[in-house]
Structure 1
Amino acid sequence: MTAVQLDTAPCEGVEYVFHLPYAPRAVSAVRRRVRAVLTTLQLPADAAENVLLVASELLTNALVHALPPATLRLSRVLVDGDAAVRVEVTDKGPARPSGIPGRPVDPDEHGRGLGIVTTLSARCGVHLHPDGTCRWAEVPAG
């Protein structure tokens, strides 16, 4: 984990960066590290759980559907004047070219992640860039 100090206010202006190893247990390892950061940020328990769930969903999406490497960034932001945590996951883009169908998935097991992200976020979106994709969400911090 790398923390980059951007400002002098405590916890504000600090960006936490996690590089996702391309391995089956990567998401759970990064989740533990994210939980430690959220404790440092002193978020209310429900807000911290929401941020953790959003980060997990975006990381899993990158691991399952995108080309490595993936990077998670967490930072404090304001959304309409209210505190939030911005969660960004950047990867190298889709693992499968668009228009080529993948294997069928069981809808009871897959496909709800981005809906969860949308529900828990004040704002969320996708930014496509020449080197890949960045999915982001701003989760209210309580």
Structure 2
Amino acid sequence: MLSSQPRSATTPEDLTAPTGDSARRAHLTLPSSGVAVRSFRRFTDQVLHRWGISDDPRDSAVLIVSELTANTAQYGRALTTLFLDCPQGTLHIAVRDHGGLVQHPPRGVDADPDEHGRGLGIVASLAKWSDVHHDADGCSVRVGLVVGAGDRTP
């Protein structure tokens, strides 16, 4: 059974809802870091594969998760939580940074502008919809991605 509170897990099976008529849901919380981005990507790929999401939308979702969690690693608070929910052909992805404030190193003046600032543009080009919400506790980005009616239900 899923807890209403985010928690850490090492495998998608730890956090996915039972199959059947309930919505497919999973979440993972990790410290915000560049290393965690890889874990969020792998978790997303494994969960969506388990849910039967086909390759193209799964690859898009993994890229979206990569961009959003990289942003939290670079600009966010101490923790990042990824939420995945897939009701009726649309995958909902939410990434929230929360916890203590983190001092991030400034981006160097010689940083290549082609390597920064494209993440939300990439997300917007792949997503059906997205929104960003800032509050006193952090930032949440929510995204809807069409995964298609043809994807099989587990």
TM-score (norm 1): 0.80
Structure 1: state its 5+ residue gaps.
none
Q: Size of the alignment, in residue pairs? A: 132
- Residues 4 and 86 of structure 1: CA distance in aligned 2, closer, same or farther (over 3 Å): same
Q: 1:38 aligns with which of 39, 48, 52?
A: 48
Structure with the higher strand share, 1 or 2: 1
- In structure 1, distance between residues paired with 2:102 and 2:32: 13
Deviation at 1:22, TM superposition (A): 3.3
Aligned-residue CA RMSD in angstroms? Answer: 2.4
Structure 2: state its 5+ residue gaps.
1-8, 149-154
- In structure 1, distance between residues paired with 2:42 and 2:141: 21
- The residue identity in structure 1 corresponding to 2:143 is A
Alignment of 1:60-99 (within 5 A): 60-78=70-88, 83-92=89-98
Alignment of 1:13-32 (within 5 A): 13-32=23-42
Deviation at 1:123, TM superposition (A): 0.4
Partner of 1:135: 141
Residues 33 and 74 in structure 2, CA contact (< 8 A), matched pair in contact too = no
* Identical-pair percentage: 30
Q: Give yes or no for the alignment of 1:54 onto 2:60.
A: no
Deviation at 1:8, TM superposition (A): 4.3
Q: Give SS of 1:25's match.
A: helix
TM-score (norm 2): 0.74
